[in-house]
């Protein structure tokens, strides 16, 4: 139960994450689950170095990340998990990672994407994936920074 | 969130303030009688010209016209207070009030479109109301904080509406019109921002002070004393919010050292001296702990892609000049946040910054259209350190224009891959290290002439007015503006040029060298020392209860706690708020502080007396049961001179 924050954020590590979330959660470790990023040696290094001193960053492909997260979920050390898309959370969930709640922290706008709240936009496919997560028992909440009150997806998604 | 803020704002903002939004003409008559009373109460009437200047200042503090420095200068109440003071004819007092209002916002950070409070609204309007209404700095803080919550509505409006203008930019990108894409980033959003910023602040500046001070005059005495008490405790919230960023690890002891240095010298040690000690300690700390040692480079370090693409074009067709780079950098530095919006954040700003580059590199309408559209997508990073991305992207565009095989995906992946991590580093550097530490220093200098903390005073009647009229030092604002501007512009310039020259390898080289870690750790040492001193200087809390010892009534704090550890109560309050922040939302803590202060000011055992002259008011304030607004309190007034 130490996966304190599983956050969907297409920018992965950035100011809100480093300057606000990490401090608030006092997370001691960041795990990034993303296939493309894990295969890019340069990005892997930048992300590792971008985290504050003393917070190790593990950048893993989703399949490896699932194994690692099941392991980390069992120990009390607080961990922050970052992914780029709802699909990844769904894959982790289906692989047996215990994710009671997922935070929708940042998903940029673009063609064909619907704005849910402030900086959060979703494609129809992503919305379906989020609904599937809720059906699997993972609460989906929007909380951009720690000082915001979490908004349940259900409050914004009339279609479900 | 919005609804909750609205509720808190509505509950806290005095009704008179909202009524002040009524048409100015109807209220002009109300302002006039205030002038008569101005002579003996220290109140000033704000004229329409002055109100317009103040409203303009507020607009400018969110505008792009100050070379991207508005957010680090006019945005901050310390600086706003200085300018409001200049406009109203008392820069020293303005700086002092601005400094006091700034303390609760020391830990303010806006990242990725989040915006906890409208800091400049609190700064510009709060200082105006305090100066014109003759409020002391502590009451000014209590009035300014709810204003900051009210002002968030302006930010929300702007973030929502500016998304529309991004679509206008899309329209002109489709037509390949470089100039109009740039114009869409600036003109519509700034007209809109000017209207929604200038109007409310103009009306509030013109009418608010009279309403607020009238309203305060009609409240019971314990209530206005409660505001003074709240103004003394609220700085603990700002200090605790800043502690979230720097009160960590091996830097923690320096916070206590700073507090003790200031308290045990009776508040006589200047913040500049404390900062100088902090610099020396930061050097020693780095030397002895070895923080930020260079990291060993991984064995097979990746060849930077930007360089890999450099070889093919033997004879480049188009080359960017230094002037092109500078124009692009200046455009970004001015206009990165001109059209900030929820949909794309800095997206149109990025495209605007690329316009000089696109104009030089591409000639066919298809190429221009494609390039404009490529850069109009969602983008957000820290706008100074993050400039490495722009430099790198410009180098890639140049190679592409010269025939290198760089596709849209390559450019997009640099932008989307780096904007997050660089924002993380950049925000840690600029918003949560450089700004709060320099502000703390500026605030310290601003208050250096003033005996805000009158614990060392003699407690006579004549000390009450000095709380309000103690002159601040405008140098605090000026030194802060100078230092922060030079640092921020330098970081932005170096990042931009190095990004262009060395591409992605600049990022990895810099991060591996440990230089950024050294800066952050060293600044943390300095910051903690100054922050500790600032806590001792600005946080004020005075207990009322006494105990009977051998027939004498001894104040618990003055006679028992302080002799053991001066300032123990202040330190305890700050630590309590810091701890609470881990559990509770800052807004709840804010409401809690106001509640505690008002309850603390209520005279449960004393008769509630009507307002009298200043000497009587001073004595009545001391009939409160739990907390006193100043210290020492409780001496009966001397007999009035015949």
pLDDT class of B205 with cuts at 50, 70, 90: very high
Contacts of B1 in chain A (CB under 8 A): 148-149, 151
* B555: DSSP letter: E
By Cβ distance, the residue of A12, A115, A119 closest to B113 is: A119
- Burial tier of A46 (Cβ tally within 10 Å: 0-12, 13-18, 19+): buried
Could you tell me if B561 lies within 8 Å of chain A, comparing CB atoms? no
Check residue B44 and give left, alpha or beta (phi > 0: left; psi -120 to 50: alpha).
beta
pLDDT over 50 at B591, yes or no: yes
Q: Which of A48-62, B26-40, B178-192, B322-336 has the lowest mean pLDDT?
A: B26-40
Calpha distance B415→B239 (Å, rounded) = 35
Torsion angle defined by CA atoms of residues B616, B620, B622 and B623, in that order, rounded to the nearest 10 degrees: 150
Contacts of A23 in chain B (CB under 8 A): 244-245
pLDDT over 50 at B422, yes or no: yes
The pLDDT value given to residue B584: 86
Torsion angle defined by CA atoms of residues B130, B131, B136 and B138, in that order, rounded to the nearest 10 degrees: 40
pLDDT over 80 at B168, yes or no: yes
Q: Are B44 and B468 in contact (CB under 8 A)?
A: no
Q: Which of B421, B507, B588 to mutate to test the interface with A (most CBs of A within 10 A)?
A: B421
The pLDDT value given to residue B602: 82
pLDDT over 50 at B379, yes or no: yes
Contact A14 B427 (CB under 8 A): yes
Task: Considering the candidates A10, A11, A14, A50, report the single residue annotated as catalytic.
Answer: A14
The pLDDT value given to residue B135: 86
Question: B225: which 2 tokens?
Answer: 């004393």
The pLDDT value given to residue A77: 87
Calpha distance B416→B380 (Å, rounded) = 9
pLDDT over 60 at B522, yes or no: yes
Q: Which of A23-27, B100-104, B490-494 has the highest mean pLDDT?
A: B490-494
Could you tell me if B490 lies within 8 Å of chain A, comparing CB atoms? no
pLDDT over 90 at A65, yes or no: yes
Q: What is the mean pLDDT of chain A?
A: 89
Q: What is the mean pLDDT of chain B?
A: 83
Domain hosting residue A21, numbered range: 3-156
Torsion angle defined by CA atoms of residues B188, B190, B193 and B194, in that order, rounded to the nearest 10 degrees: -120
User: Is A14 known to be catalytic?
Assistant: yes
The pLDDT value given to residue B290: 78
Q: Which of B32-46, B379-393, B513-527 has the lowest mean pLDDT?
A: B32-46
Contact B4 A9 (CB under 8 A): no
Contact B428 A18 (CB under 8 A): yes
Q: Which of A42-51, A94-103, B182-191, B589-598 has the lowest mean pLDDT?
A: A42-51
In chain A, the largest separation of any two C-alpha atoms, in whole Å, equals 43
- DSSP conformation letters of A31-78: EEE-HHHHH-HHHHHHHHHHSPTT--EEEE-HHHHHHHHHHHHTSSS-
Exposed e or buried b for every residue in B157-166, given b needs 16+ CB within 10 A?
ebbebbbebb
pLDDT over 90 at B352, yes or no: yes
ipTM summary value: 0.83
Mean pLDDT of the region B55-59: 97
Q: Which of B248, B424, B429, B589 to mutate to test the interface with A (most CBs of A within 10 A)?
A: B424
* Residue keyed to tokens 């309850």: B599
Calpha distance B389→B396 (Å, rounded) = 10
CATH number for the domain spanning A48: value is 3.40.35.10
**Strand, helix or coil for residue B553:** strand
pLDDT class of A157 with cuts at 50, 70, 90: confident
* B300: DSSP letter: T
Calpha distance B207→B106 (Å, rounded) = 29
**Structural domains of chain A, count:** 1
Alpha helices in B430-503 (DSSP H): 435-446, 463-469, 475-502
Calpha distance B263→B568 (Å, rounded) = 10
Mean pLDDT of the region B74-91: 96
By Cβ distance, the residue of A15, A45, A49 closest to B111 is: A15
Contact A144 B112 (CB under 8 A): yes
- The kind and range of the H/E element at A152 are strand A151-152
- Burial tier of B192 (Cβ tally within 10 Å: 0-12, 13-18, 19+): middle
Report the 10 Å Cβ neighbour count for B409: 8
User: Which residue in chain B has the smallest CA separation from A48?
Assistant: B421
Helices B586-601 and B235-246, interaxial angle, to 10°? 150
Q: Which of B21-30, B138-147, B303-312 has the lowest mean pLDDT?
A: B21-30
Calpha distance B406→B355 (Å, rounded) = 19
Phi, psi of B538, rounded to the nearest 5 degrees: -105, -25
pLDDT class of A1 with cuts at 50, 70, 90: low
The pLDDT value given to residue B301: 43
pLDDT class of B511 with cuts at 50, 70, 90: confident
pLDDT over 60 at B6, yes or no: no
The pLDDT value given to residue B14: 33
Calpha distance B315→B592 (Å, rounded) = 69
pLDDT over 50 at B420, yes or no: yes
The pLDDT value given to residue A138: 94
User: Which residue in chain A has the smallest CA separation from B581?
Assistant: A24
Q: Which of A135-149, B517-531, B541-555 has the lowest mean pLDDT?
A: B541-555
Calpha distance A4→A131 (Å, rounded) = 21
Could you tell me if B522 lies within 8 Å of chain A, comparing CB atoms? no
The pLDDT value given to residue B375: 96
By Cβ distance, the residue of B291, B302, B431 closest to A41 is: B302
Q: pLDDT tens-digit profile of A102-146? A: 999 989 888 888 888 888 999 999 999 999 999 999 999 999 888
């Amino acid at each position: 139960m130490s996966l304190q924050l599983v956050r969907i954020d297409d920018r992965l590590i950035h100011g809100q994450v480093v300057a606000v979330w990490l401090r608030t959660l006092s997370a001691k470790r960041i795990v990034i689950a993303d296939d493309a990023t894990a295969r890019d040696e340069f990005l892997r290094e930048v992300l590792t170095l971008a985290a504050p001193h003393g917070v190790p960053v593990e950048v893993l492909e989703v399949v490896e990340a699932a194994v690692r997260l099941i392991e980390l979920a069992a120990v009390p050390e607080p961990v922050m998990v970052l992914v780029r898309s709802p699909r990844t959370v769904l894959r982790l969930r289906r692989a047996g990672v215990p994710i009671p709640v997922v935070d929708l922290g940042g998903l940029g706008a673009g063609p064909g994407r619907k704005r849910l709240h402030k900086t959060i936009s979703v494609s129809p496919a992503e919305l379906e994936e989020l609904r599937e997560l809720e059906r699997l028992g993972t609460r989906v909440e929007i909380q951009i920074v720690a000082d915001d009150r979490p908004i349940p997806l259900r409050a914004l998604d009339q279609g479900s | 969130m919005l609804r909750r803020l609205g509720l808190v704002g509505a509950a806290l903002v005095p009704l008179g303030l909202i009524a002040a939004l009524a048409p100015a003409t109807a209220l002009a008559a109300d302002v006039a009688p205030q002038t008569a009373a101005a002579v003996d109460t220290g109140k000033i009437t704000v004229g329409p010209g002055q109100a317009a200047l103040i409203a303009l200042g507020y607009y400018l503090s969110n505008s792009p016209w100050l070379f991207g420095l508005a957010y680090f200068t006019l945005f901050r109440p310390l600086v706003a207070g200085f300018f409001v003071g200049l406009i109203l004819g008392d820069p020293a007092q303005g700086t002092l009030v601005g400094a006091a209002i700034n303390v609760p916002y020391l830990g303010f950070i806006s990242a990725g479109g989040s915006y906890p409070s409208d800091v400049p609204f609190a700064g510009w309007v709060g200082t105006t109301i305090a100066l014109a209404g003759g409020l002391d700095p502590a009451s000014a803080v209590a009035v300014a904080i709810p204003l900051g919550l009210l002002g968030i509505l302006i930010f929300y409006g702007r973030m929502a509406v500016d998304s529309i203008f991004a679509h206008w930019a899309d329209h002109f990108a489709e037509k390949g019109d470089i100039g109009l894409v740039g114009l869409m980033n600036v003109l519509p959003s700034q007209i809109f921002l000017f209207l929604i910023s200038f109007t409310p602040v103009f009306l509030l500046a013109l009418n608010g002070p009279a309403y607020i001070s009238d309203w305060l005059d009609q409240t019971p005495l314990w209530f206005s004393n409660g505001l003074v008490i709240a103004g003394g405790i609220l700085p603990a919230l700002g200090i605790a919010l800043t502690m979230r960023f720097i009160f960590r690890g091996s830097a923690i002891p320096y916070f206590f050292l700073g507090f003790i240095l200031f308290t045990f010298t009776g508040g006589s040690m200047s913040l500049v001296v404390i900062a100088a000690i902090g610099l020396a300690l930061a050097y020693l700390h780095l030397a002895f702990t070895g923080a930020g040692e260079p990291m060993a480079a991984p064995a097979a370090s990746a060849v930077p892609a930007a360089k890999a693409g450099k070889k093919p074009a033997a004879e480049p067709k188009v080359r960017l000049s230094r002037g092109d780079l500078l124009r692009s950098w200046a455009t970004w530095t001015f206009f990165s946040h001109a059209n900030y919006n929820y949909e794309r954040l800095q997206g149109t700003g990025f495209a605007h910054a690329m316009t000089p580059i696109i104009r030089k590199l591409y000639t066919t309408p298809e190429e221009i259209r494609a390039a404009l559209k490529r850069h109009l997508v969602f983008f957000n990073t820290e706008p100074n350190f993050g400039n490495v991305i722009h430099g790198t992207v410009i180098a890639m565009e140049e190679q592409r224009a010269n025939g290198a095989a760089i596709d849209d995906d390559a450019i997009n992946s640099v932008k989307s891959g780096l904007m997050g991590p660089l924002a993380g580093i950049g925000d840690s550097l600029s918003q949560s290290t450089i700004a709060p530490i320099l502000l703390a220093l500026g605030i310290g200098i601003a208050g250096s002439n003033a005996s805000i903390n009158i614990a060392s005073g003699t407690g006579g009647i004549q000390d009450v007015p000095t709380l309000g009229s103690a002159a601040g030092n405008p140098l605090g604002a000026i030194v802060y503006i100078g230092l922060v501007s030079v640092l921020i512009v330098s970081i932005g310039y170096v990042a931009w040029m190095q990004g262009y020259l060395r591409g992605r390898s600049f990022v990895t080289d810099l991060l591996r060298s440990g230089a950024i870690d050294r800066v952050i750790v060293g600044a943390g040492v300095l910051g903690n020392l100054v922050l500790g001193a600032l806590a001792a200087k600005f946080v004020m809390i005075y207990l009322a209860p006494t105990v009977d010892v051998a027939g004498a009534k001894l104040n618990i704090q003055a006679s028992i706690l302080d002799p053991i550890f001066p300032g123990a109560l202040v330190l305890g309050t700050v630590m309590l708020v810091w701890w609470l922040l881990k559990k509770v939302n800052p807004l709840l803590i804010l409401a809690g502080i106001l509640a505690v202060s008002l309850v603390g000011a209520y005279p449960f055992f004393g008769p509630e007396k009507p307002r009298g002259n200043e000497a009587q008011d001073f004595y009545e304030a001391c009939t409160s049961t739990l907390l006193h607004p100043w210290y020492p309190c409780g001496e009966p007034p001397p007999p009035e001179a015949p």
